[in-house]
Structure 1
Amino acid sequence: MFRGSSFHTIDAKGRIIVPVRFRSLIQAGGGNGVMVSKLDNGLVAYPFDEWSRIENSIMSAPQKDELMRRFIRVFIGSAAECFSDKQERILIPPPLRHYAGLEKEIVLVGVLTHFEIRSRENWDKENAQQEDDMTQAEVGAEIAKLLL
Structure 2
Amino acid sequence: MARKLRFRGESRHKVDAKGRVSIPAQFRRVLEAGDPEWKEGLNPELVVVYGDKRRNYLECFTVQAIDEVDEKIEALPRGSRARKALETLFNAQSHPTSVDETGRLVLPAKLRAKIGLSSEAVFVGSGDTFKIWEPETYESEHQAEMDEWLESLPPDQDIMTFLDSPPEE
Q: Return the alpha-carbon distance in structure 1 between the equivalents of residues 7 and 89 of structure 2.
A: 24
Moved more, 67-76 or 14-23: 67-76
SS at match of 1:12: coil
Q: Distance in 1 between matches of 2:27 and 2:20?
A: 16
Residue aligning to 1:20: 25
Greater share of strand:
1
Matched residue type, 1:118 = W
Q: CA deviation at 1:34?
A: 1.3
- CA-based RMSD of the aligned residues comes to 2.3
Which amino acid counterpart does residue 130 of structure 2 have in structure 1? F
Question: 2:75 matched to which residue of 1?
Answer: 60
Which of residues 88, 93, 117 is equivalent to 1:78? 93
CA–CA distance in structure 1, aligned partners of residues 159 and 91 of structure 2: 30
Large movers: runs of 4+ above 2 Å: 62-72, 140-148
Structure number with greater Rg is: 2
Q: CA 1:64–1:143 in structure 2 vs 1: closer, same or farther (change >3 Å)? A: farther
Number of residue-to-residue matches in the alignment: 147
Q: What is residue 6 of structure 1 aligned with on the other side?
A: 11
The 2-side partners of 1:136 and 1:57 are apart by: 33
Identity of aligned residues (%): 26
Q: Does the 8 Å contact 1:33/1:90 carry over to 2?
A: no
Structure 1: which 5+ runs fail to align?
Answer: none
- SS in structure 1 of the partner of residue 151 of structure 2: coil
Q: Counterpart of 1:29?
A: 34
The two structures have a TM-score, normalised by structure 1, of 0.86
Cα gap change, 1:94 to 1:3, in 2 (>3 Å): same
After superposition, residues 1-148 of structure 1 pair within 5 angstroms as 1-30=6-35, 31=38, 32-39=44-51, 40-62=55-77, 65-66=80-81, 69-125=84-140, 126-137=142-153, 143-146=159-162
Structure with more of its chain in helix, by fraction: 1
What TM-score, normalized to structure 2? Answer: 0.76
Structure 2 distance, partners of 1:74, 1:6, is 26
Report the residue type matching 1:116 in the other structure: K
1:100-140 Cα offsets, whole Å, 9 max, x none, are: 211112100000001000100111011122112222238x9
1:44-86 CA deviation, whole Å, 9 max, x = no partner? 0011111111111111123555355234313320211121112
